[in-house]
Amino acid sequence: MKRRTFVVNIVAGTALAATPLALAEEATPTGEETGMTDGSIESGYAQVNGLRMYYEIHGNGAPLLLLHGAFNAISTWGPILETLAQHHQVIAVEFQGHGHTADIDRPFRYEQFADDVAGVMAHLDIAQADVVGYSMGGNTALQLAMRHPDRVRKLVAISASYRADGPYPELSALIETLTPEMFAGSPPETAYFEAAPNPDAWPLLFDKMKALEADEFAWADDEVGAFAAPTLVIIGDSDTVLPEHALALFRLLGGGVPGDLVGLPPSQLAIVPGATHVSLVVERSEFWLPMVETFLDAPMPEA
């Protein structure tokens, strides 16, 4: 992996996600509920686990949680959020230290992020939802299904890992070198400074993301395979996630069987051609979004 190419993709590639869906408005400083931001989008904060966590609600229908990737915010979902909100009530959140959600004195951990998301669901009185998570959000979605299985109806894990060795080793080496200066003028930097309650914490976000990446997590196979939520695993064929890791995850979730002989498994695997980790969501979502809709709309498998 070429370091410069990947950094340019992260920094410049997200510019392609800029759409008529404007960056989220700067949150008002008083009150927990900010109300409707434009007549169709509800926004607010949930007090969960010592964190004042920002969320937005778009559209109507069955609830769907949308969990963003590292250094991103709700606004960077762009047309993906707009498309999903046509048929779902999309609850998009911003993780600790991201977007409107201020950082607090605790490290980044996927388990904690999952507990925070479950706290938002409780705050909004949402007993269960479908969950779509990308990258860091995909890892968090897996932990949500593991730690709070009753909360997750179906799961879409995009470019997700259940072990630290799931991505190519070059990725960890690259992330260790990232600096705020590399993101100067980029859409993630712009979104952060327009929304963050404490813009001076931008460098701290890099420190905490590096610490999260350095954590040699390895979730037990039996724990990953224990949750019941049917799962659609999606990666790009040139993703940072190893294809064999995505296949291993798919197998843990009941996949990798001869469907003509034993029936289709509850989980599915999609490898999008010509897609990298970044372009998968920035340029290639038209390939996998219809798969997501079909997967979510299908009847739940019989117990």
pLDDT-derived band at 187 (thresholds 50, 70, 90) equals confident
Q: What is the pLDDT of residues 250-296, one digit of tens each?
A: 999 999 999 999 999 999 999 999 999 999 999 999 999 999 999 99
Compute the residue count for the chain: 303
C-alpha 41/C-alpha 57 separation (Å) is: 6
pLDDT-derived band at 245 (thresholds 50, 70, 90) equals very high
Q: What is the pLDDT of residues 19-49, one digit of tens each?
A: 323 333 333 333 345 444 444 789 999 999 9
What is the share, in percent, of the chain residues with pLDDT greater than 70?
Answer: 87
State both tokens at 113: 């992020």
Q: What is the pLDDT of residues 136-164, one digit of tens each?
A: 999 999 999 999 999 999 999 999 999 99
CA 10 to chain centre: 15
Question: Is there a contact between 83 and 132 (Cβ–Cβ < 8 Å)?
Answer: no
Mean pLDDT of the chain: 88
pLDDT of 12: 41
| 168: phi then psi, degrees, rounded to nearest 5 | -60, 140
Domain 3-22+36-227+234-294: CATH superfamily is Alpha/Beta hydrolase fold, catalytic domain (3.40.50.1820)
Q: What is the pLDDT of residues 202-237, one digit of tens each?
A: 999 999 999 999 999 999 999 999 999 999 999 999
How do the domains of the chain map onto residue ranges?
3-22+36-227+234-294
Question: Is there a contact between 68 and 95 (Cβ–Cβ < 8 Å)?
Answer: yes
Number of alpha carbons in the 13 Å side-chain half-sphere of residue 71:
24
C-alpha 18/C-alpha 21 separation (Å) is: 7
3-state secondary structure of 103: coil
pLDDT of 44: 97
**Mean pLDDT score, 82-104:** 97
Q: What is the pLDDT of residues 101-111, one digit of tens each?
A: 999 999 999 99
Q: Return the bridge partners of 197, or none.
A: none
Residue 7 has pLDDT above 70, yes or no: no
